[in-house]
Each structure stands twice: as C-alpha cells, then as structure tokens.
Amino acid sequence: MDTIERIREVELASDKAEKAAVVEADRIIAEAEDAAASLKVNLTKEAKAKADALVSDAQAKSDKILSDARTEADGEASSLRSETGAKKDAAIKLVLDDLTA
C-alpha cells in the first residue's frame, strides 16, 4: 500500500501543479492582454496627437498663404485704383483741353 499511496500523492501533486500552471498561464495571458490594450491606447493617442499637430501646422500654413495673397491682392487693387485715378484725371484734362481749344 505504500506504493499505491505514493502514486496517489504524486498524482495529486501533479494535478495541483497542473492547476497552478493553468492559473499562472491565465494570469500571464491576462497581463499580456492588458499590456497590449494599454499599448494600443497609447499608440492611438500618440498618432492622434501627431495628426492633430500636422493638421494644425497645415492650417497655419494655409492661413499664412491666404493672408499673404490678400495682402498682395489689396496692394495690387490699391495700385490699380491709383493708376485709374491718375488716368481719369488725365482723361478729364484731355476732354477739357479739347473743349476749350
């Protein structure tokens, strides 16, 4: 009977070790899943922050280009107004000169 008891003890110890290994494996898997989820969240936040920065930079560049274009257009319009005013005055003078001549 000693041998049979010894075999039973070994079987019980083996079962206990197997159950402990399954519990440990489940714990390791759960930790890995948590770490992966956390990593995914962090990478998503980083990617969103980078994308937001790129969009913000693009918007700033776009605003600058539009502002420069408006400034240039305003300058050209002002120049054309000045030229038109000068030509109008010259045309009026020519008409008056023709009428008085």
Report yes or no on whether pTM surpasses 0.85: no
pLDDT tens for the chain, 101 residues long, are 688 889 999 999 999 999 999 999 999 999 999 999 999 999 999 999 999 999 999 999 999 999 999 999 999 999 999 889 888 888 888 888 878 87
What pLDDT was estimated at residue 1? 64
Comparing CA positions, the residue from 16, 84, 52, 46 lying closest to residue 8 is: 16
The alpha carbon dihedral of 30, 36, 38, 44 has a sign of negative
The alpha carbon dihedral of 14, 16, 17, 22 has a sign of positive
